Amino acid sequence: MASIEIEKLEKSYGHVSVLHGIDLDIRDGEFVVLVGPSGCGKSTLLRMIAGLEDVSRGEIRIAGNRVNDLHPKDRDIAMVFQSYALYPHMNVAGNMSYSLRLRKATKEKIGAAVAGAAAKLGLEPLLERRPKALSGGQRQRVAMGRAIVRQPKAFLFDEPLSNLDARLREQMRAEIKKMHADLKATSIYVTHDQIEAMTLADRIVAMHGGVVQQVGSPLELYDRPANLFVAGFIGSPGMNFLDVTYRGGALRLKDGSRVADSPPVAVQEGSDLTLGIRPEHLTITTDSGGISAEVELVEPTGFGIIVHLTLHGMPVKVFTLDRQALATGGEIKVSFPVQHIHLFNNEGSRIG
């Protein structure tokens, strides 16, 4: 186990810059999830930590030692790939023991490590099988088994669950979390799935355009997103955004209609702001304080109901657990509870 420090890390391919000065401290035993849309540089960052990509500028330290110029094999890390990358010509036991065999570990030690990992992952009956005779979930387990037999300083996961179906993904997610609670190994996990990020992470690193947008615990990112990108990326269905103007202690739409009282913020009268509110925080109401909106579409999810509205020409979604919403249509009223309103300035940064 070890801590990992990343300092002013940059990556460019020729003139194309992919990562712009990443700073990140990962504590010993921490589970950090890098999350962001495709092309945000999260996989590149992970591959640089693994040593599969060169560092253009900056520094990576594992357990305090600079590893910029070390080969992947000398960094003592293990990686789980999206495609699993199992060796097709070796059986499950061979796949899991490969790294130990390369390190010339004794037969007894290899046998014990493989047996231990197989027991942990429920792979004992499959040890003699080749990867092609395994299902997707079993392959995923073997890939994880291959990582844990070595007891490396850190685990790197590169979208390991993306190739599984939804049910299996849910199950493996829980297993990874259990495994981490068990091994307490420093882990870095890359995903574009914000549910995986929320459920697994001790800390989430939200990335966009090669820049870290926010680092924090899952609920910090959910409750207090630092900017419009994080606000829009975390949460499903995604946060509603409305262009509003601050006037007389209230937030008003462009046509002057009042949306809600403003939370206490220090902004000038007449400033243009972006109001953000999560669909689950909007309430359908009958009282006169609500603002009227047109129902466009009703989507039942089983757990709750998503109602798509048009509010003064702008699309807004409401998520509600109230089954009455299924019967809604035409004109309804919604209200914006002030304690749930997020405000962002012109640059997209959070102001309240």
Partner 1 sequence: MMIAAGTTKGLPVRKPWLTRLADASEPYLYSAPSLILIVAVMLVPLVIGISYAFRDIQLLNPFSGGFIGIEHFRALSQDAAFYGALKNTLWWTGASVLLQFFFGLILALLLDKPFWGRGLVQALVFLPWAVPSFLAGLNWAWLFNPVIGPIPHWLFGLGVMSQPGNILSDPQYAMWGPIVANVWWGIPFFAITLLAALQAIPRDLYEAASIDGANWFQRFCSITLPFLAPTIAITVLLRTVWISNFADLIVVMTGGGPADRTQIVASYIFTQAFKALDFGYASAIALVLLVLLLAYSMFIILLRQTLLNKD
Helices (H) and strands (E) in the chain, counts: 8, 20
Residue 109 touching partner 1 (CB under 8 A):
no
Q: Which of 35, 77, 206, 316 touches partner 1 (CB under 8 A)? A: 77
Contact between 167 and partner 1 per CB under 8 A: no
Residue pair 231/344 in contact (Cβ under 8 Å)? The answer is: yes
* d(C-alpha 17, C-alpha 48), whole Å: 14
Q: How far apart are CA 192 and CA 204, in angstroms?
A: 12
Tell me the per-residue interface mask from 196 to 225 with partner 1, x by CB under 8 A, - otherwise.
Answer: ------------------------------
Distance CA 60, CA 331 (A): 57
One-letter identity of residue 91 = N
Considering the rule CB under 8 A, would residue 83 count as an interface residue with partner 1? yes
- Residue 227: CB atoms within 10 A of its CB come to 18
CA–CA separation, 51 and 69 (whole Å): 8
- Break the chain down into helix, strand, coil percent, rounded to 5: 30, 35, 35
CA angle 90, 92, 96 (to 5 degrees): 90
Region binding partner 1 by CB under 8 A among candidate stretches 78-86, 200-208, 222-230, 318-326: 78-86
Question: Smaller CB distance to partner 1: residue 69 or 347?
Answer: 69
Q: Which of residues 113-142 bind partner 1 (CB under 8 A)?
A: 130
Q: Which residue has the tokens 């109401």?
A: 285
- Rounded Cα–Cα distance for residues 37 and 192 (Å): 6
Comparison of 113 and 341: residue with beta carbon closer to partner 1: 113
Site string for partner 1, 271-310 (x = CB under 8 A): ----------------------------------------
Applying CB under 8 A, among 21, 58, 72, 111 the residue interacting with partner 1 is 72
Burial 109-141 (b: 16+ CB within 10 A, else e): ebeebbbebbebbebeebbeebbeebeebbbbb
For the bound state, the minimum distance from the C-beta of residue 30 to partner 1, rounded and expressed in Å, comes to: 20
- Residue among 45, 40, 49 at smallest CA distance from 11: 45
CA atoms of 1 and 47, how far apart (whole Å): 19
Which one of 146, 173, 203, 278 is in contact with partner 1 (CB under 8 A)? 146
- Footprint (CB under 8 A) of partner 1, residues 37-66: 50-52
Binding test (CB under 8 A) with partner 1, winner from 56, 81, 237, 280? 81
Binding segment for partner 1 among 75-83, 164-172, 239-247, 323-331 (CB under 8 A)?
75-83
Among 79, 113, 206, 309, interactor with partner 1 by CB under 8 A: 79
User: Considering the complex, what minimum distance in angstroms separates the CB of residue 85 from partner 1?
Assistant: 4
Is 90 an interacting residue with respect to partner 1 (CB under 8 A)?
Answer: yes
213 is written with which tokens? Answer: 């947008």
Stretch touching partner 1 by CB under 8 A, among 55-63, 70-78, 113-121, 196-204:
70-78
DSSP 239: P
Nearest C-alpha neighbor of 191 from the set 228, 233, 220: 233
Among the listed residues 66, 73, 107, 323, the single contact to partner 1 using CB under 8 A: 73
Question: Whole-number minimum distance, CB 273 to partner 1, in Å?
Answer: 46
Q: Which residue has the tokens 């231990």?
A: 116
Stretch that binds partner 1, among 7-15, 67-75, 167-175, 218-226 (CB under 8 A): 67-75
Tell me the site size for partner 1, rule CB under 8 A: 24
User: Using CB under 8 A as the criterion, which residues of the chain lie in contact with partner 1 when the complex forms?
Assistant: 50-52, 71-73, 77-79, 81, 83, 85-90, 98-99, 102-103, 130, 146, 150
